[in-house]
Structure 1
């Protein structure tokens, strides 16, 4: 919805259901008084761990599908339901977080989500049947939904106003680094132990996080004062988002709209989401507060975050795919090649958190996007003869840009949001972020394959008997004793390898240009000076 589109006059703010804004003692309107030093550090560590395992679980299974499929006696295509069931359920739960937190309270909802996520992790680890595992993964995804947005909200409320950029930096570290290290952790666990341990490692972390948060966080005084249940909105949300996420998860493997299932789900998703927007715009107590988009800064920041996550999917998805499919790396080696992105990202997340309040958020975000654009342009010139060191060097530098745009952009997004709508805004921004990442992943893989097919056709036309290069290559094959059918197979492999290398360069070029556009778009926003400190106004 456009930021300039007015809502009907009968629409009420999300907080209207429980009268005026929260009072001074409400968990929805204050930071936790008296929490300093060791207590604040311990709570921050516990919240960050909870966020880390939730985001990690969304990626750690990517490299475990073959092991899970083999262990439970199903095909790899069936095994992907372990990923799809989790992502669909999480996609449904995240936008419900704002509404649920008003009914149950932020603290109660977060604690309940953490302990139930931990319990379902145990059930996933001991599941001996594939269908039971899929059900447990769906439940795990459902309970994971509130964890990331509420961890962000609770951190911001807990930290004093002058330290809220630090809180955002700590939260951003866990959200950004977990997907990077997910394949590394998953590959190491599969190689060293067995697939159930990718779920069982959540147990001690989840229990620790729950115990610390249970001890240090206060109950919400405003719990139970939310609006009546928006049942039509919830049903439309579940149907629309669930169908859309399933389309994104299965579309590539099913041939997109050539599949009757994907076509049907896409139509259902479109109708349900359009109906949801129409319904919520006129609903007095909406499950999703569309009035947030009245603010120009929130709307543009959401657009930038969405496009940014789509571009980032090229790094997170195409880069490791290229390493494995073209360069011959194993999943674990590809994870190690991706991991350096997190090294300087970790360091600069801390620096940005400490010093960001001194700068205009737009300046920092623009610098981050421009650095990303430069490195992606560098990546676009990769070749098949790259060494491991040459491959990881750009990613190491790219880690500087990641926190420089993500932290100030997140602060700018929430800078003009009133405190009583903070949880709703956080859940909505996280929902759009994860949905955009899923969309970017699906589109990137499809576009990568399509570009590879195009380049294959172009390169194959030059592989003729009259070509001098082809003749010399065939002669070298004959010298190695390769001829006949093996010769044709080798030629096909070489052309295909070149085609995917060229397609990878195309993807990096497009992502680089997108980052340049996003750097310019940042100046269409108007975040408050010291954006993170303005939270809760």
Structure 2
């Protein structure tokens, strides 16, 4: 079984954008000290900050990117989903490339490629080229976060590893909060390419400092076979499913042969992937972990909840900018309030989780998420800034009590040698679910808006007791009949998309309530200390 210390360290290192940390650095390395330790910690934290920042910095910039490149906002969300899918697929490869080339070389290569593709994203002349570079950027980012943890833990003595991971975790908490704020300010005051250009100096500095300190601390290298067939099938089914979700609305779903072909590729690829991975001697993904009930249920909950969580982080700023008139900066401020309680409570939860039942903490989190989404389902076009922001403030409580306890559920009771594989697989599921959630949220939002638009305009006809006086009043002010109808149509569109966004948030609230049932299907695991509570994972 995983020891209490392992669970605590894994929980402390768990963030929305990172696998659990390895439990120790390479055995042949001595800890750093003095300025080398300080500079090394800063360099590793900068790389992590840059990586995590890019998962949220584009959320508030989608309308500007889409408008500048001449595509719809729903097409603009591919900028987010393409990064997430590529990043998720790259995560399982981290162990192989690290043992084949060394942790330091892989980490440095990851930083430099991420920096290069960030620059090329800013240079992209079309949405297709931008998506290509976002895919490459996401793939290069895959090893960066787990290896930053590995190198960080090798820099500190074992008795200070908890403090090291706590400092690292604060970086990964601050970055998602800064992302919408920074992205909104840059988009409004400079231009959207600079949300990618800012990675260039950060990446170069992080790479230079890391190279100067860690190149002489390379990890052992050994050749391992890689499951190329499994990796290829993984790319096929995940990529096909994501493209299907992204293009479905545009191509009218299953009336399009392209969508049918993508769906078939996703299904066949997934089935072949399962069969191959079960029987391969060196699978890219260890599917036998799903034989463990707590891991399976915990991963399902993590994926579903994170899909709704991240989908809402994309949907809310889109609606605020396109239909409420908020600037990218204003929308970023609304999202950033999630950090208030998240920063305050996360260290406390990490500290006291070992004496709490993770099922109760997770249940509390889901209840708060349901409350937040119910409050958002009451949004109208005339609400104030604080009426839009208060649910985000409360969401910080749910965020702090969500990721760490769920990691305890997923990893609780696992043997120490399986923790890394379990963390990698659960994070693959989480990141992929975030990309799928973004596509599903924006697609269903558009579909619901079209339905509500049709229902609303059915009340507007010649001689309507509601519409006719409004039309006559506008014509009396100098509008032509066509201009008056266009103004009314814009107002109807605004209301239709607002009712639709309320629908999405209401559905999310009920789904979070339903997830509570899964929490209590999990049986408490027994720690080595003999106390359920002390294990910190149930």
TM-score range, shorter chain: 0.7 to 0.9
| Partner in structure 1 of residue 113 of structure 2 | 116
Query: Is the alpha carbon distance of 1:474 and 1:197 closer, same or farther for their aligned partners in structure 2, counting shifts above 3 Å?
Result: closer
CA distance in 1, matches of 2:125, 2:498: 40
1:432-461 superposed Cα distances (whole Å, 9 cap, x missing partner)? 111101111111111112222222233333
CA contact under 8 A between 1:146 and 1:427: conserved in structure 2?
A: no
The Cα shift of 1:51 comes to 2.6
| Partner in structure 1 of residue 375 of structure 2 | 378
Provide TM-score, normalisation by structure 2.
Answer: 0.81
CA contact under 8 A between 2:241 and 2:263: conserved in structure 1?
A: yes
Query: Is the alpha carbon distance of 1:522 and 1:381 closer, same or farther for their aligned partners in structure 2, counting shifts above 3 Å?
Result: same
Alignment match of 1:224 (pick from 208, 222, 226): 222
The Cα shift of 1:377 comes to 1.0
Alignment match of 1:76 (pick from 67, 71, 74): 71
The Cα shift of 1:66 comes to 6.9
Query: Is the alpha carbon distance of 1:422 and 1:411 closer, same or farther for their aligned partners in structure 2, counting shifts above 3 Å?
Result: same
CA contact under 8 A between 2:370 and 2:508: conserved in structure 1?
A: yes
Alignment match of 1:95 (pick from 89, 92, 96): 92
Q: Which moved more, 1:356-365 or 1:460-469?
A: 460-469
Answer yes or no: is 1:397 the counterpart of 2:390.
no
Answer yes or no: is 1:275 the counterpart of 2:275.
no
Q: Gapped runs of 5+ residues in structure 2?
A: 1-21
Residue aligned with 2:520, SS: helix
The Cα shift of 1:234 comes to 2.2
Answer yes or no: is 1:54 the counterpart of 2:87.
no
Answer yes or no: is 1:198 the counterpart of 2:195.
yes
Residue aligned with 2:401, SS: helix
Answer yes or no: is 1:142 the counterpart of 2:139.
yes
Q: Which moved more, 1:501-510 or 1:512-521?
A: 512-521
| Partner in structure 1 of residue 17 of structure 2 | none
CA distance in 1, matches of 2:513, 2:359: 14
CA distance in 2, matches of 1:360, 1:44: 33
| Partner in structure 2 of residue 360 of structure 1 | 357
Provide TM-score, normalisation by structure 1.
Answer: 0.81
CA contact under 8 A between 2:81 and 2:435: conserved in structure 1?
A: no
CA contact under 8 A between 1:369 and 1:519: conserved in structure 2?
A: yes
CA distance in 2, matches of 1:417, 1:163: 24
Q: Which moved more, 1:491-500 or 1:383-392?
A: 491-500
Q: Any residues of structure 2 matched to 1:187-266 within 5 Å, and which?
A: 187-211=184-208, 213-214=210-211, 215=213, 219=217, 223-224=221-222, 226=224, 228-266=225-263
CA contact under 8 A between 2:184 and 2:327: conserved in structure 1?
A: no
CA contact under 8 A between 1:184 and 1:336: conserved in structure 2?
A: yes
Q: Gapped runs of 5+ residues in structure 1?
A: 1-23
Residue aligned with 1:76, SS: coil
CA distance in 2, matches of 1:25, 1:397: 33
Q: Any residues of structure 2 matched to 1:147-162 within 5 Å, and which?
A: 147-151=144-148
The Cα shift of 1:64 comes to 5.0
| Partner in structure 2 of residue 185 of structure 1 | 182
Q: CA RMSD in A?
A: 3.9
Query: Is the alpha carbon distance of 1:335 and 1:166 closer, same or farther for their aligned partners in structure 2, counting shifts above 3 Å?
Result: same
CA distance in 2, matches of 1:132, 1:466: 51
Query: Is the alpha carbon distance of 1:367 and 1:87 closer, same or farther for their aligned partners in structure 2, counting shifts above 3 Å?
Result: closer
Query: Is the alpha carbon distance of 1:460 and 1:191 closer, same or farther for their aligned partners in structure 2, counting shifts above 3 Å?
Result: closer
CA contact under 8 A between 1:170 and 1:349: conserved in structure 2?
A: no
Residue aligned with 2:402, SS: helix
CA contact under 8 A between 1:172 and 1:406: conserved in structure 2?
A: no
CA distance in 2, matches of 1:295, 1:159: 33
The Cα shift of 1:108 comes to 4.3
Answer yes or no: is 1:450 the counterpart of 2:447.
yes
Residue aligned with 2:282, SS: coil
CA contact under 8 A between 2:341 and 2:396: conserved in structure 1?
A: yes
Alignment match of 1:460 (pick from 457, 461, 484): 457
The Cα shift of 1:75 comes to 3.6
Alignment match of 2:312 (pick from 315, 331, 335): 315
